[in-house]
Amino acid sequence: MAKRSSSSNEVLLGLLTIQPMSGYDLGQTIRESVGHFWNESYGQIYPNLKKLAAGGFVTARTERQKGKPDRQIYSITQKGRERLANWLAVPPQPEIPRNELLLKLFFGGQASLQVSMEHVQRMIETESAILRKIEQIEKEIDKNRQYPDVPYWSMAVRFGQLELEAHLRWAQETLTVLNKLAKKQQSRGTARKERRHGGK
């Protein structure tokens, strides 16, 4: 069984080393910091926080607010830090990739060239947007230079940059190839038509 024992709990512990936070805060922080290489849904965050609290890895304190609902503020404990350190020392599992775009492109021969080109085009747009967002994050990190973990955050950002740039280079290259295929198909099409209709 064992399986992945997935890192969902450890992201929470890790972020709580920066400062105590509520489940809601954690959700926000995940999206804004590690969002481009790690996601968690609230349906995962809230139950996991309860489990972590039950195990003594975090402690909860209720903060009452006027108007808004109460907040549960979680802090990491010594035991939690130890668990985090243990997890950090374990070599990361090799990723099981699932890239739907590549899959659709791989079977591109079963669709029209138009379809494949649109997919790549759309990819360029979404990934460019992410790249811009990451560069935004980079600036944000630079502003908060007081935190000692900044070098590590920068490494993660840098990864995103280099990877996305590679993706975009590939996408441009691929569009060129698809265009050439389209021209070939077109010329074959007219050639056939000309033959059928007795040429010009």
Partner DNA sequence: GGGTGCATGTAATGGGTTACATGATTCT
Partner DNA sequence: AGAATCATGTAACCCATTACATGCACCC
Question: CB count, 10 Å around CB of 192?
Answer: 10
Q: Find the binder of its own copies among 17, 186, 187, 190 (CB under 8 A).
A: 17
Residue list 24-53, contact with its own copies (CB under 8 A): 33-34, 36-39
Q: Which does 14 bind (CB under 5 to 8 A by kind): DNA, its own copies, none?
A: its own copies
Binding window for DNA (CB under 7 A); candidates: 3-11, 128-136, 172-180, 190-198: 3-11
Tell me, by CB under 7 A, how many residues bind DNA. Answer: 32
Stretch that binds its own copies, among 65-73, 118-126, 132-140, 191-199 (CB under 8 A): 118-126
Q: Does the footprint of DNA cover residue 10 (CB under 7 A)?
A: no
Nearer to DNA, 44 or 174 (CB): 44
Could you say whether residue 94 binds DNA (CB under 7 A)? no
Binding partner selected for residue 162 from its own copies, DNA, none, CB under the kind-specific 5 to 8 Å limit: its own copies
- Site mask, its own copies, residues 129-158, x = CB under 8 A? -------------------xx-xxx-xx-x
End-to-end distance of the chain based on CA atoms, in angstroms? 70
70 binds, among DNA, its own copies, none (CB under 5 to 8 A by kind): DNA
- For residue 74, list its beta bridge partners: 21, 60
DSSP lists the bridge partners of residue 61 as 73
Is residue 6 a contact residue for DNA (CB under 7 A)? yes
The contact set with DNA (CB under 7 A) reads 1-6, 8, 22-25, 28, 39-44, 46-47, 49-50, 65-72, 96, 98
